[in-house]
Structure 1
């Protein structure tokens, strides 16, 4: 699966993982140097790529806000 993104597990530095799903956030390592990009993988498939940790972090904050909003709306619809 990782061959689709041109990487082996040894060429990736894990920086975060989901407790709920098979999502993994990694940074590529080339010649012992960690790159700036962050790759979001799920079951070996590339979901998204970010130019920096900051961009990835901001994206995850936005995702969490949207998810929380949706959960509140669903709870309100259910009378909770």
Structure 2
């Protein structure tokens, strides 16, 4: 059995009997408990849809249509004038 474990907060090696991490200072309340184990990972929640991708797709389609319409107008004006 190893004498150390990895700190869930910073990844440093922490002695088994240590009260806190020697590098970042996290302890049972801030980084070793099961409740806070994944706090620093910035994982997406599955409850909330990611609206950024839907917005960016809509924005790119809108930009495509605007450019297409402006191109058609430019060709029409070029042939008229």
- Length-normalised TM-score, structure 2: 0.34
Give the greater-gyration-radius structure (CA). 2
- Length-normalised TM-score, structure 1: 0.35
Larger strand share, 1 or 2: 1
Task: Return the structure number with greater relative CO, CA threshold 8 A, min gap 6.
Answer: 1
